[in-house]
């Protein structure tokens, strides 16, 4: 850990100057308490750095949570092993075996994948989740959410694009894990943009000048703050339910492919873009984790690598100085445009050898080399989490 100033502590051994300056700027906001913690995967973000843990007193900056409210990971450990997968691939009694490409295609048919993707019908498993989300909102709040993104029920159970993914992986004991990354989709994005614009309006109303307009904040005790917190919590619940719905569908497709029911030995579902009230250093604060997971002592968490690299199942060490937090992934080393200029589809193919995936130039900007070295990120996290399982992909599903 490196102390950059009295209000900024850094766990990232790989930190470019722009990201450092952005984090310093955010840490100077007057309501930060006790300090901002910069995680090992830190990289440049909008307003606040991705990979930062931001405790605030009496105010919240909507852009410091991010536009994909509640984005996070879910993982299921099954009873299946690599041998079970190989047996299905070999077939039995002379019959043709099943390919991992067939499993990938089944998952792609079951879950809408790309930006703007939505379900054509509401599944039986999604109906009670949608009903619960409707019941969790006041009539006024639900009207506001419907006005921002009226198709949100059709978005429940959809993946999205960018760095979101679904994977079938094996751990160090060759046990099969199902692993996916997604958030609150279009509705969370619209909620975040709406309240960020409200914060900009509030700053203008009171003639408040900021070093970056996306550090605009809402003050606790105001109607604007209360509406944001209510919508934020709703979007976080949507993201959690979205991952559960997708995972149920992935489990169903694996059962069909394996011709056997999945026995879940573990299911872990955690946010890495969220805000909640927590107690740190003697005070109750609003803790915003923008690209970071909660890592209280013994708490299970998920830290994915990039496309084609290892991912980790971890338990928190409860590092109080790091505000009981840890990184959420590898963190970008190249912007998407720079990655596309630097790497080719052949580079991606070489990085994905041995993994079943959809061969498309749409994923060039997701190549592992566009991200920080996940092994270095985990080494930097040695005092934040303990690694319990290391996962290697055998199937990768992504949206354009």
Cβ atoms of 235 and 70 closer than 8 Å? yes
Element (H, E) at 170: strand 165-170
Rounded to an integer, what distance in angstroms lies between the CA atom of residue 187 and that of residue 173?
39
CA atoms of 197 and 32, how far apart (whole Å) = 21
- Residues 6+ away with beta carbon under 8 Å from 353: none
| End-to-end Cα separation, the chain, in angstroms | 37
For residue 214, give Cα distances in angstroms to 43, 163, 187: 16, 23, 20
| Cβ atoms of 75 and 179 closer than 8 Å | yes
Give the Cα separation of 166 and 178 in Å (integer): 8
β-bridge partners, 278? 285
- Total residue length of the chain: 400
Show which residues are catalytic: 328
Query: Which ranges of the chain does DSSP label H, i.e. alpha helix?
Result: 17-27, 82-90, 100-110, 126-136, 139-148, 152-155, 185-205, 223-258, 336-342, 345-351, 374-380
């Amino acid at each position: 850990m490196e102390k950059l100033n009295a209000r900024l502590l850094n766990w990232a051994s790989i930190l470019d100057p722009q990201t450092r300056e952005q984090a310093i700027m955010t840490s100077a906001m007057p309501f930060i308490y006790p300090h901002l913690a910069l995680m090992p995967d830190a990289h440049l973000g909008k307003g606040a750095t991705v990979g930062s843990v931001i405790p605030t007193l009496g105010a919240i900056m909507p852009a410091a949570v991010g536009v994909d409210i509640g984005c996070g990971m879910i993982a299921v450990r099954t009873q299946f092993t690599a041998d079970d997968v190989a047996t299905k691939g070999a077939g039995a009694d002379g019959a043709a075996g099943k390919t991992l490409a067939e499993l990938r295609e089944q998952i792609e048919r079951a879950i809408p994948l790309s930006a703007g993707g939505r379900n054509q019908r509401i599944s039986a498993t999604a109906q009670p989740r949608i009903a619960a989300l409707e019941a969790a909102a006041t009539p006024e709040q639900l009207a506001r959410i419907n006005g921002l993104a009226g198709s949100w029920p059709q978005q429940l159970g959809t993946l999205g694009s960018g760095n979101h993914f679904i994977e079938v992986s094996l751990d160090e004991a060759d046990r099969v894990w199902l692993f996916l990354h997604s958030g609150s989709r279009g509705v969370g994005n619209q909620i975040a943009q709406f309240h960020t614009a409200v914060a900009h309006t509030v700053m203008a109303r009171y003639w408040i000048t900021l070093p970056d307009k996306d550090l605009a904040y809402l003050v606790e005790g105001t109607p604007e703050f209360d509406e944001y917190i209510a919508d934020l919590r709703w979007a976080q619940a949507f993201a959690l339910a979205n991952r559960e719905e997708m995972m149920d569908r992935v489990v169903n497709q694996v059962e069909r492919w394996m011709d056997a029911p999945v026995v879940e030995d573990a299911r872990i579902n955690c946010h890495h873009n969220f805000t909640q009230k927590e107690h740190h250093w003697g005070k109750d604060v609003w803790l915003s984790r923008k690209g970071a997971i909660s890592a209280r002592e013994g708490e299970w968490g998920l830290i994915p690598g990039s496309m084609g690299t290892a991912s980790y199942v971890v338990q928190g060490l409860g590092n109080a100085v790091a505000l009981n937090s840890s990184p959420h992934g590898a963190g970008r080393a190249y912007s998407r445009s720079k990655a596309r200029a630097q790497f080719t589809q052949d580079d991606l193919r070489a990085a994905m050898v041995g993994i079943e995936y959809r061969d498309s130039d749409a994923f060039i900007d997701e190549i592992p080399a566009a991200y920080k070295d996940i092994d270095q990120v985990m080494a930097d996290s040695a005092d934040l989490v303990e690694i319990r399982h290391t996962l290697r992909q055998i199937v990768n599903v992504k949206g354009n």
